Amino acid sequence: EEQEEDTLRELRLFLRSVTERLALDRRFKAFTKPVDIEEVPDYCTVVKQPMDLSTVLTKIDVHSYVTVKEFLHDVDLIWKNALEYNPDSNPTDRQIRHRACALKDTVHSIIRDELDEDFEKICQKIRESR
């Protein structure tokens, strides 16, 4: 009903605010757009479910997320994929892994600081009812 749409509108505003802050952080530049598989041809052989911040923004706008948990699952894909694709000890791999760890810690810290657990509980009830 209308109250549910009010809740989901507030969820989308919160998720856009979080995602835009991440996309503006220069450390996370490599995570802002899909990996170009013409530039990185073996990417799709290693990473089975690519994800990036621009795709997350699109998913927010097409109402893909009904809970913060679903949003976090996609943002967790971004940094987990980076750890998986960049496992080596060379400086380039190490730098992107460091940035992946920073992305993980930053998004979880924002959610802990800014998400009211009762709000997420209402979102979960909406998800279970659909």
Ligand X SMILES: CC(=O)c1csc(NC(=O)C2C[NH2+]C2)n1
- Residue 64 CA, distance from chain mean position: 12
Rounded to 5 degrees, what are φ and ψ at 102? -65, -40
For ligand X, which is the closer residue by CB, 63 or 94? Answer: 94
CB-closest chain residue to ligand X: 82
Q: How far is the CB of 21 from ligand X (least distance, A)?
A: 19
Q: Shortest distance, CB of residue 23 to ligand X, whole angstroms?
A: 14
Residue 17 Cβ, how far from ligand X at the closest point, in Å? 23
**82 lines the binding site for ligand X (CB under 6 A):** yes
Q: How far apart are CA 95 and CA 101, in angstroms?
A: 10
Per-residue contact flags (x/-) with ligand X for residues 2 to 41, judged by CB under 6 A: ----------------------------xx---x----x-
Residue 89 touches ligand X, criterion: CB under 6 A: no
Residue 111's contacts (CB-CB under 8 Å, 6 or more residues apart) are 18, 68, 72
Q: How far apart are CA 104 and CA 72, in angstroms?
A: 10
27-47 burial, b at 16+ Cβ within 10 Å, e below that, comes to ebebbbeebeeeeeeeeeeeb
Residue number, 11 or 51, with CB nearest to ligand X = 51
Alpha carbons 123 and 65: distance in angstroms, whole number:
10
92 binds ligand X (CB under 6 A): yes
Binding site for ligand X (CB under 6 A): 30-31, 35, 40, 82, 85-86, 92-93, 96
